[in-house]
Amino acid sequence: MKVRKAVITAAGRDQRALPLQTLVDRDGVPKSALRIIVDEAAATGVEEVCVVTAPGDREPYARAAGDHAARLHFVEQTDPRGYGHALFVARDFVGAEPFLHLVGDHLALSRTPERCAQQVVAAAVAEDCAVSGVQPTRENMLPHFGTVGGRRVPQRDDLYEIESVLEKPTPTQAEQSLIVPGLRAGHYLCLLGMHVLTPAVMDILADLVAQTPPPQKVQLSDALARLAERERYLALQVQGHRYDIGDKYGLLFAQIALALDGTDRDDVLSRLVELLATRQRTP
């Protein structure tokens, strides 16, 4: 498997401004969230990147991409029919190749020198199959994420054979079909918003789009569940952490994480300690 292409979905009507938000990256340079995400994709060696946007967002997104603008392709999701449909509109760009997929409202920060997307791509290439990045997540966070169930790959403690996928399951649903042996009690494998997918997912999405009358939404998790039935599909426990910049305080936490992992770490840390000390002294 060779992964040459990446697709970034950023077409959510209520989140279209998020990729345009500016953060100070680990190198101390202010960048848009979109540029940081494209950097993540480019670090894997992909040659082409497609951004799926809402109508009218191409120009501001191209400006936000900075030096990456020339390498980007844009397609519009003209009808807001859900996350799965947004990915589907990039079908012509993907063609018959496997591809890296990232989302425009999540930043991922690795705990190792290898970026999170590099970890997922490396696993997909080594295993020659689709791989989704996952993170063990507390039960109370299940309403925010797609979640997978399955079993560990023999002799691996970070790789799982996916058997089921549910979008934002209830704790009862998770307990019935998503428990993974070996995980800490009350924790489940939630999707990181980072995947290497085979072309088969586009065929599955085509069927779902045809079978789902508007205004019903087409969910990617439904396509991933069918993908797990059709072919070998793995989950990699990524050595890193997701930051949902669309969540309350999400941008703040993402910025703090970037700063504490970057060149200005000591200065930022001392200022945070000073701030906390000041707040403690306040009556």
Specify the pLDDT at position 16: 87
- pLDDT tens digits for 116-139? 999 999 999 999 999 999 999 999
| Cβ atoms < 10 Å from Cβ of 132 | 29
| 188: phi then psi, degrees, rounded to nearest 5 | -135, 160
Q: Which amino acid is at 280?
A: Q
Longest dimension (CA), the chain: 63
- Report d(CA 232, CA 211) in Å as an integer: 24
- pLDDT tens digits for 12-69? 998 889 999 999 999 999 999 999 999 999 999 999 999 999 999 999 999 999 999 9
In this prediction, the residues of the chain whose per-residue pLDDT falls under 50 are: none
Q: Which two tokens stand for residue 164?
A: 């089921």
E-strand stretches of 26-129: 30-32, 48-53, 72-76, 99-103, 106-110
What sections of 128-249 are H helices per DSSP? 171-177, 200-211, 220-230
Domains and CATH numbers, the chain: 5-281 (3.90.550.10)
- Report d(CA 112, CA 118) in Å as an integer: 11
Specify the pLDDT at position 281: 67
Could you give the angle at the alpha carbon of 124 between the alpha carbons of 168 and 176, nearest 5°?
Answer: 30
Specify the pLDDT at position 203: 98
Specify the pLDDT at position 25: 97
CB 258 within 8 A of CB 24: yes
Q: Provide the whole-model pTM.
A: 0.95
Specify the pLDDT at position 282: 56
